[in-house]
A and B are shown apart, each in its own frame.
Chain A
Amino acid sequence: MRVMTGMWSFIKGIGMVIARAYALAKGLRLTLATFFTRPVTIRYPEHKREVAPRWRGVHYFDCNEKGDTRCVACGLCVAVCPSQCIRLVAVELENGERYPETYEINSVRCIYCGLCAEACPVDAIKLGRGYEFVAHRRQDLVLDKERLLANRPGGAP
């Protein structure tokens, strides 16, 4: 009887070893299969990822016929901005229009929520598709009026 149970546990042990070896072999087969698949890496500077249609990138100003900003300095974007990264100094021109004397977006603080673009009554500030803007100093990442205008699609480089 004891011999029988001994034999039985021996056979069970062999079965377990085979099962585990099979599991290891399955893992090896999977990695061998992935070895022969094409890598999914996008090699960045040469190839770039297509951004989503609703992607919110760095801001830009849309311009009017004169090539200046459409912004009327109403201050809605400043009010709505959750991270309070927009600084606006408004002046009144001779023809009575309000005009942004300075308009700065601190792109380091900005969370790219897009609320400023939604709030803008004249569709002046918009979020573009670019995401490659870097600088060595933080001050350089504060976007002023000229840079916002330059950021627009087809704007100055």
Chain B
Amino acid sequence: MIWRDGHLVSEGPGGVYGERMLQGFRVWDPKRSKLAALYHLGTEMELRSDHRVLYLGAANGTTVSHVADYVEVVYAVEIAPRPMQDLLVIAGSRKNIIPILADAGRPETYLPLVEDVDLIYQDVASPRQVSILIGNLCFLKEKGLAVLMLKPRSIDVTRDPGDVFSEAEREIGAGGLSILDQVSMNPYYPDHRAFLCRKE
């Protein structure tokens, strides 16, 4: 990962969403992107230039654009039409973003497009977050990594976040992943937790 003066940056054409530029690099703001926050909190996972990434819950494509700066290709899945309009504009000006308007919970609808990937990044706010990730593991290479940004409030607001996390742990394990690390997203995103997993 590229750091300049304590800022996480990425190398690419700027002006995607009004991001700040620093020494010719695009500043990747941890307050606007959970993945950037994860790097600020410290993780060993690197994005490499030969990586293929499946990004579930691409939204407006702000984080996607930074990921695309680092890796070979990003398959960006988003279901909502309005953010997709933004995502299409970004994908139009970059060579390595493949936009997919589909429900991440129904991988069969985009199965013909997506190849084997090295990393799945999942950040959809859905009560079925974990099972959506498990459903997409068919795209992940052996020993490939999966990052799950879990927001217990979108799974069940009435339950204790600790319970939700431990149930998610069980579900992840049962789905064929081993958890390498868990990172609490405080102070950037209170209540969120990132699960770094590997396909076994």
Partners in one complex: no
